[in-house]
Amino acid sequence: MIDIEFVRSRFIKHFDGQTGNVYTSPGRINLIGEHTDYNGGFVFPGAVDKGITAEMRVNGTEDTVMAYAIDLKDRVDFHLNDPAGPKASWARYIYGIAKEFQKLGVPVKGFNIAFAGDVPLGAGMSSSAAMESCFACGLNDLFGDNKVSQWDMVLAGQATEHNYCGVNCGIMDQFASVFGKAGCLMRLDCRSREFEYFPFKPDGYRLVLLDSVVKHQLAGSPYNDRRNSCENVVKHIAAKHPEGKFETLRDCTWEQLEEVKAEVGDEDYMRAKFVLGEKDRVLAVCDALNEGDYEKVGEMMYKTHEGLSKDYEVSCVELDYLNDIAKECGVTGSRIMGGGFGGCTINLVRNDLYKKFVETAKQKFNEKYGHEPKVYDVVIGDGSRRLC
């Protein structure tokens, strides 16, 4: 986690010398359940020990926000009443959360903020959700009397992505960042929003992320196209079954998907096929975890990778290569993590294989792409909170 004193020293330097309150929110991993959140399915994320830390203080103005992104050395001041909001993409997360909080009735006024992060950007570990949750946590404390519920913070983060950042994401990332608990993964049903904590201490195994360093960027990307494809399939199934209630692919069966195969076209069919399979895989992984069957968990992870690569088409050659290396090394499970289009693979590795796997992956990837993948050992940490 980022050192509080580091953030504080910049906050003091760039504003009026006074200190504020400090908040932090984590990025996330996801064991399995990809692109299922906006389809009403299940996800299995956990918060990590890396995230965004912000110092914030009310500045007494009606609507002026003075913001400093420490890592980018970039200062942007903007007005909450300006309907266009700031141009800088990082500042739009602050603006978006503030506007969404105002919609909830929280009387957000001017404030100062400086923030820094140690969750890698564009690695598929949800640095943007970490920002949203961190700013939400701060605004809740400064202006909302901490009365905004955790779920409303999650939804404000998601609405920020939709309304100010151009990404029609689901709720997994913001959920994981707000609700995370050290040592636990969480199985969330994205339709009912019910969830349970799953203590995750795989005996004899560990989780490691290999970052391809191909920058994953979801804004204005084919991410939204994937979501549109899924919604199109649901529309066709609903039209065929006026008696039923079909809101997302979660409500659809394999048979119903087959019925509309010809009319939705190959591409949308493949996308939906992946999602239906992924929904079942999350449940299979939960059962396997309950039985301590990590080999089964790993098998499901490889299947997810294949589906994300071939049917959902959100992989890239670098991620497929990292997956191949994992397979060759006998790694238990490996797959693309997060939205795809770059970023990391998540790998479930036996302790005795870990060293050899990481060394082989570094060497082979370097030979092919001219640089090593970055390696992040996963530590499952706590969710959004005030530090001081």
- Contact residues for ligand GAF, defined by CB under 6 A: 34-35, 37-38, 126, 169-170, 172-173, 338-339
**Minimal distance in Å, beta carbon 247 to ligand GAF?**
16
Active-site positions read: 173
**Minimal distance in Å, beta carbon 21 to ligand GAF?**
27
Q: Which residue's CB is nearer to ligand GAF, number 44 or number 365?
A: 44
Q: Which residue's CB is nearer to ligand GAF, number 15 or number 93?
A: 93
Q: Which residue's CB is nearer to ligand GAF, number 42 or number 205?
A: 42
**Minimal distance in Å, beta carbon 353 to ligand GAF?**
27
Give me 47's structure tokens: 């918060």
Q: Which residue's CB is nearer to ligand GAF, number 10 or number 226?
A: 226
Give me 2's structure tokens: 């980022």
Report the distance separating Cα 151 and Cα 359, nearest Å. 41
**Helices 294-310 and 261-290 sit at what angle, rounded to 10 degrees?**
160
Q: Which residue's CB is nearer to ligand GAF, number 122 or number 202?
A: 122
DSSP state of 356: H
What is the chain's alpha carbon radius of gyration, rounded to the nearest angstrom? 21
DSSP state of 339: T
Q: Which residue's CB is nearer to ligand GAF, number 298 or number 340?
A: 340
Give me 114's structure tokens: 């400086």
**Minimal distance in Å, beta carbon 248 to ligand GAF?**
12
CA distances from 265 to 28, 278, 286, 310, 338 (A): 34, 20, 33, 16, 26
Short-list 56, 37, 127, CA closest to 98: 56
**Minimal distance in Å, beta carbon 136 to ligand GAF?**
16
Q: Which residues contact 140 (CB under 8 A, 6 or more apart)?
A: 101, 106, 146, 147, 148, 153
Q: How far apart are the first and last CA of the chain?
A: 14
> Phi and psi of 27, rounded to 5°?
-80, -170
Q: How many CA atoms lie within 13 A of 113 on its CB side?
A: 31
Short-list 159, 57, 55, CA closest to 115: 55
Short-list 135, 78, 154, CA closest to 110: 78
Q: Which residue has the tokens 């895989």?
A: 281
